[in-house]
């Protein structure tokens, strides 16, 4: 005669064929409760939908259904209030909740798992969790965009040096620079929305891998859980983690964007640049150097991209080469996603705060806008436009003018007309009209260009498109 699990130490959930229980090490490597407890709300939601469907299809009696729903509500309250005792020997959130349900309502609890497996259960829970994370992140990015657009609008006409190779290139406006990030975060939001469309199919009812012999209604559970439809193939439904990978991929690209903006803040706040100042709320002092104001939040946002990229890599490697259908490897899908979601939430919030509080040193921006002969292209363009010189020649002539200014240790604007005409006699006094950084920026009126009028219009358009 076989012994009851409580006498052998085997799992009460699956220990029927086991004579002994798992070793302590086995429990440690096998248990996921320490991290998958974060799925409790989704697990309860999924179970409620499953239970309601079982009652509606006549698989479960209304009385058992009512007892189960009641018990699940109690458990939800117990977890929210911190009273619930999570047990490692019960492995994961699914079995912790089911075991507690049995304590609360007795035998009826054992009927909830009809026509379901932990494989479709966890896939459903995790999709619901990632869906919330996607929505939360999209909302946070929208707020960041709103903050950037406000700042951009306020500084639509503040000229600054634009860079390529981090070498002064051409004057741009500060507003224009910020709106570049609005575009980047807009694409990030697009990727999240796009991922959501593919995510939004319901695995529940795929059961272990093959579907079930019970007359379940997968469309009903899908609808109740806010999915667009049930996943079409039961094997795919329990094996697929594309939705998590897509979230991480979109998150990793977003983290890269955040790190680029963070890096610019780090550069811009140095004594050498002084383009912007961060608020006290987002900087720290040095314990030895009283003058210091360190951009720690920006540096940490820059650093944290590593975690998100790492999470994407981790899950890609977990999934690579896994045969269909479920493998326990997939239990390792959650921590990277949780870590990335937490990191992104914090990074976006920190960036939003830094940008909101940012003070812009418009004088310093203007002073440095011309350094590095940033209006050289404007001379070349002027030679083309006014004197009919082919651009390649104009480029060469301007190069000689730059060398002259370099030799004299002055800016392009400070060269005399005689100096300029010595390089090329076709140059007239009119050229001084394009040598100033403000005139240069104002002349860039092509679509998507940096002219203040464009930037003001682009900020307005961005509000329409993104907010
Ligand atoms: N804790 C498991 C996970 O997260 C739940 C699914 C377990 N399924 C199984 N067949 N052992 O993946």
Tens digit of pLDDT for each residue in 216-265? 999 999 999 999 999 999 999 999 999 999 999 999 999 999 999 999 99
If you count DSSP H runs as helices and E runs as strands, how many of each does the chain have, helices first?
19, 6
Q: Going by CA atoms, what residue is nearest to atom 12 of ligand 1?
A: 331
Cα–Cα distance measured from residue 3 to residue 26, given in angstroms and rounded to the nearest whole number: 22
Both tokens assigned to 276? 């912007």
The reply to whether ligand 1 has any atom less than 6 angstroms from the CB of 92 is yes
Say what percent of the chain tops pLDDT 90: 91
**pLDDT for position 290:** 81
Q: Which is nearest to 262 in space by CA: 383, 346, 152? A: 346
39 close to 61: Cβ distance less than 8 angstroms: no
Q: How confident is the model at residue 97 (pLDDT cuts 50, 70, 90)?
A: very high
| Residue whose structure tokens are 């550069």 | 267
* CA 24 to ligand 1 centroid distance, Å: 19
* CA 378 to ligand 1 centroid distance, Å: 64
* CA 14 to ligand 1 centroid distance, Å: 12
DSSP character string of 311-341: HHHHHHHHHTTPPSS--GGGGGGHHHHHHHH
The reply to whether ligand 1 has any atom less than 6 angstroms from the CB of 145 is no
Give the position, in ligand 1's atom list, of the atom nearest the Cα of 32: 1
The reply to whether ligand 1 has any atom less than 6 angstroms from the CB of 331 is yes
Cα–Cα distance measured from residue 345 to residue 362, given in angstroms and rounded to the nearest whole number: 31
**pLDDT for position 21:** 87
The reply to whether ligand 1 has any atom less than 6 angstroms from the CB of 129 is no
* CA 61 to ligand 1 centroid distance, Å: 28
The reply to whether ligand 1 has any atom less than 6 angstroms from the CB of 326 is yes
The reply to whether ligand 1 has any atom less than 6 angstroms from the CB of 275 is no
57-63-68 Cα angle (round to 5)? 85
437-to-130, 161, 382, 432 alpha-carbon distances in Å:
48, 9, 14, 11
* pLDDT per residue as tens digits for the range 259-309: 999 999 999 999 999 999 999 999 988 888 888 889 999 999 999 999 999
Q: Is 2 exposed, middle or buried (0-12, 13-18, 19+ CB in 10 A)?
A: exposed
Cα–Cα distance measured from residue 234 to residue 213, given in angstroms and rounded to the nearest whole number: 13
Q: pTM for this structure? A: 0.94
Q: Which is nearest to 442 in space by CA: 231, 156, 219, 193? A: 156
Q: How confident is the model at residue 214 (pLDDT cuts 50, 70, 90)?
A: very high
The reply to whether ligand 1 has any atom less than 6 angstroms from the CB of 11 is no
Give the position, in ligand 1's atom list, of the atom nearest the Cα of 92: 1
The reply to whether ligand 1 has any atom less than 6 angstroms from the CB of 96 is no
Q: Going by CA atoms, what residue is nearest to atom 7 of ligand 1?
A: 118
Give the position, in ligand 1's atom list, of the atom nearest the Cα of 91: 1
* pLDDT per residue as tens digits for the range 57-67: 999 999 999 99
Q: Going by CA atoms, what residue is nearest to atom 10 of ligand 1?
A: 119
User: Cis peptide leading into 325, omega within 30 of 0?
Assistant: yes
The reply to whether ligand 1 has any atom less than 6 angstroms from the CB of 122 is yes
Q: Which residues are known to be catalytic?
A: 165, 286
Q: Considering the chain, what is the average pLDDT of its residues? A: 96
231 close to 237: Cβ distance less than 8 angstroms: yes
Both tokens assigned to 378? 């404007």
Q: Going by CA atoms, what residue is nearest to atom 4 of ligand 1?
A: 331
The reply to whether ligand 1 has any atom less than 6 angstroms from the CB of 118 is yes
* CA 96 to ligand 1 centroid distance, Å: 13
* pLDDT per residue as tens digits for the range 15-44: 888 888 889 999 999 999 999 999 999 999
* CA 27 to ligand 1 centroid distance, Å: 14
**pLDDT for position 8:** 76
The reply to whether ligand 1 has any atom less than 6 angstroms from the CB of 269 is no
Give the position, in ligand 1's atom list, of the atom nearest the Cα of 126: 4
* CA 328 to ligand 1 centroid distance, Å: 6
- Mean pLDDT in residue range 452-459: 98
* pLDDT per residue as tens digits for the range 131-174: 999 999 999 999 999 999 999 999 999 999 999 999 999 999 99
* CA 325 to ligand 1 centroid distance, Å: 12
Q: Going by CA atoms, what residue is nearest to atom 3 of ligand 1?
A: 331
- Mean pLDDT in residue range 411-419: 92
């Amino acid at each position: 005669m076989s012994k009851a699990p409580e006498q052998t130490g085997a799992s009460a959930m699956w220990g029927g064929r086991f004579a002994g229980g798992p070793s302590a090490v086995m429990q440690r490597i096998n248990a996921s409760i320490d991290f998958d407890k974060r799925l409790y709300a989704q697990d309860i939601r999924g179970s409620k939908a499953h239970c309601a469907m079982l009652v509606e299809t006549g698989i479960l009696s209304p009385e058992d259904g009512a007892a189960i729903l009641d018990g699940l509500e109690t458990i939800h309250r117990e977890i929210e209030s911190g009273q619930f005792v999570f047990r490692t020997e019960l492995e994961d959130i699914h079995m912790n909740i089911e075991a507690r349900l049995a304590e609360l309502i007795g035998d009826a609890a054992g009927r909830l798992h009809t026509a379901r497996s932990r494989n479709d259960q966890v896939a459903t829970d995790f999709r619901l969790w990632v869906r919330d994370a996607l929505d939360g992140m999209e909302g946070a990015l929208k707020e960041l965009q709103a903050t950037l657009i406000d700042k951009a609008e306020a500084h639509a006409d503040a000229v600054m040096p634009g860079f390529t190779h981090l070498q002064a290139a051409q004057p741009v406006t500060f507003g224009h620079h910020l709106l570049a990030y609005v575009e980047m975060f807009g694409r990030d939001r697009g990727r999240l929305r796009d991922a959501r469309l593919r995510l939004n199919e319901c695995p529940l009812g795929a059961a272990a891998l093959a579907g079930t012999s019970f007359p379940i209604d997968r469309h009903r559970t899908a609808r109740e859980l806010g999915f667009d439809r049930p996943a079409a193939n039961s094997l795919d439904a329990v094996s697929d983690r594309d939705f998590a990978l897509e979230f991480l991929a979109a998150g990793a690209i977003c983290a890269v964007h955040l790190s680029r903006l963070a890096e610019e803040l780090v550069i811009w706040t140095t004594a050498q640049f002084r383009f912007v100042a961060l608020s006290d709320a987002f900087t720290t002092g040095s314990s030895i150097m009283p003058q210091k104001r360190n951009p720690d939040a920006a540096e940490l946002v820059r650093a944290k991209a590593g975690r998100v990229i790492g999470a994407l890599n981790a899950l890609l490697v977990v999934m690579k080469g896994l045969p269909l259908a479920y493998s326990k490897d997939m239990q390792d899908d959650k921590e990277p996603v949780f870590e990335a979601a937490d990191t992104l939430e914090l990074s976006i919030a920190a960036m939003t705060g830094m940008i909101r509080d940012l003070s812009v040193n418009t004088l310093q921006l203007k002073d440095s806008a011309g350094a590095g002969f940033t209006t050289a292209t404007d001379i070349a363009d002027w030679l083309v436009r006014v004197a009919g010189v082919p651009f390649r020649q104009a480029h060469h002539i301007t190069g000689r003018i730059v060398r002259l200014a370099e030799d004299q240790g002055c800016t392009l604007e400070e060269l005399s007309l005689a100096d300029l005409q010595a390089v090329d006699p076709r140059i007239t006094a009119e050229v001084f009209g394009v040598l100033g950084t403000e005139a240069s920026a104002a002349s860039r009126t092509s679509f998507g260009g940096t002219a203040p009028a464009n930037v003001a219009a682009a900020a307005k358009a961005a509000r329409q498109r993104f907010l």
